[in-house]
């Protein structure tokens, strides 16, 4: 195992300490329980929080800031945060207008956020929750009942964060979040496995000439394992199931999100974006907005995921609204 670490058990806390110093103008980091909170919280608006296991950076902590999340709860690598973290973060961002929990559909995340919401309600805080489940690859997986929550989570956090910033109430924020989740679909693939620091060895094995199609963001098995193929063929393997699932239709306007799994160079992500754009053009689907880069990763895994979100006018307006976080910034 070759990693830039001191001790495996200290990776998350030391990374959080680094984030706190690097982005002291945007965030504060609280330890024991661990959470990242937007500078100046609580604000006079609906609070928006999310969280999950570490190792997917910049999700979620990199999205804390103006126009996106108010707080994020990082668990151990690939491990759900605990209810104490979520409750503390909920209380920290509660400005009296309620708090929205954005939860990816993994069993531990769902259970612990539910528990935190109940504890917060007992303290008089109104909490609403939305669960993302956009991965079309498999129905049930290692840590999931139902579909996994993946790339749509990033888009949802930006869009709902903008709505909350603009003064939308809790019920409206929840409804927008549910609409984004309902209109988005994702699928990914891996060229290599990744190594959790405390495990010390790769989570699975892939031969030099193999790829895993439909991989999860923790290395969960996908739809199938097959021989490595040209990028254009891989793009078809990912885009086809996404387009057919919603289904997306001729004339739709979409946000096209090509995401790296952590170890894929940007040159390859743009090459894959070109292939996706070709597929969408052939189906008469317009790319109205785009995002390309490493935003929801799996440590050093090499691979890519596609996410398509069918846009409406309100989503476009909220996507374009100003945002200023460690990992996403425009308009200010």
Q: Do residues 165 and 46 lie in contact, with contact meaning Cβ atoms separated by under 8 Å?
A: no
Question: Active-site residue among 23, 43, 218, 324?
Answer: 218
Alpha-carbon distance of 102 to 131, in angstroms, equals 6
Alpha-carbon distance of 102 to 86, in angstroms, equals 11
Report the pLDDT value the prediction gives residue 153, as an integer from 0 to 100. 98
Q: Do domains 11-182 and 184-311 have the same CATH topology?
A: no
The gap from C-alpha 131 to its chain's centroid, in whole angstroms, comes to 12
Pairing assessment for the beta strands 35-38 and 47-54 based on DSSP bridges: unpaired
The arrangement of secondary structure in 184-311, i.e. its CATH architecture, is 2-Layer Sandwich (3.30)
DSSP at 60: T
43 is catalytic: no
Question: Active-site residue among 23, 43, 56, 60?
Answer: 56
- CATH top class, domain 11-182: alpha beta
What is the residue extent of each domain of the chain? 11-182, 184-311
Q: Do residues 94 and 101 lie in contact, with contact meaning Cβ atoms separated by under 8 Å?
A: no
Report the pLDDT value the prediction gives residue 143, as an integer from 0 to 100. 67
Burial of 247 (0-12, 13-18, 19+ CB in 10 A): exposed
Report the pLDDT value the prediction gives residue 140, as an integer from 0 to 100. 73
Report the pLDDT value the prediction gives residue 221, as an integer from 0 to 100. 80
Low-confidence ranges of the chain (pLDDT < 50): none
């Amino acid at each position: 195992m070759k990693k830039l670490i001191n001790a495996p058990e200290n990776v998350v806390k030391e990374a959080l300490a680094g984030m706190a110093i690097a982005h002291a103008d945007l965030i504060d980091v609280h330890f024991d329980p661990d959470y990242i909170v937007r500078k100046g919280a609580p604000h006079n608006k609906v609070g928006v929080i999310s969280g999950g296991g570490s190792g997917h950076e910049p999700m979620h902590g990199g999205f804390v800031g103006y126009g996106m999340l108010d707080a994020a709860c990082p668990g151990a690598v690939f491990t759900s945060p605990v209810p104490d973290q979520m409750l503390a973060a909920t209380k920290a961002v509660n400005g009296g207008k309620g708090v929205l929990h954005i939860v990816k559909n993994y069993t531990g995340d769902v259970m612990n956020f539910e528990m935190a919401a109940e504890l917060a309600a007992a303290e008089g805080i109104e909490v609403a929750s939305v669960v993302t489940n956009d991965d079309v690859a498999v129905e049930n997986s290692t840590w999931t009942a139902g579909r996994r929550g993946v790339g749509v989570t990033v888009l949802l956090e930006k869009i709902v964060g903008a709505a909350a910033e603009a003064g939308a109430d809790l019920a409206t924020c929840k409804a927008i979040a549910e609409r984004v989740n309902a209109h988005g679909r994702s699928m990914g693939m891996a060229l290599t496995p990744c190594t959790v620091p405390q495990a010390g060895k790769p989570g699975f094995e892939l031969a030099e000439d193999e790829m895993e199609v439909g991989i999860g963001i923790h290395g969960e098995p996908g739809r199938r394992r097959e021989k490595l193929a040209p990028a254009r063929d891989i793009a078809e393997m990912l885009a086809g199931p996404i387009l057919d699932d919603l289904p997306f239709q001729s004339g739709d306007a979409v946000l096209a999100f090509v995401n790296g799994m952590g170890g894929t160079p940007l040159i390859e992500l743009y090459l894959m974006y070109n292939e996706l754009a070709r597929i969408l053009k052939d189906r008469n689907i317009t790319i109205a907005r785009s995002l390309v880069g490493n935003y929801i990763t799996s440590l050093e895994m090499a691979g890519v995921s596609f996410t398509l979100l069918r846009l409406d006018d309100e989503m476009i307006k909220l996507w374009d609204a100003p945002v200023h976080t460690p990992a996403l910034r425009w308009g200010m």
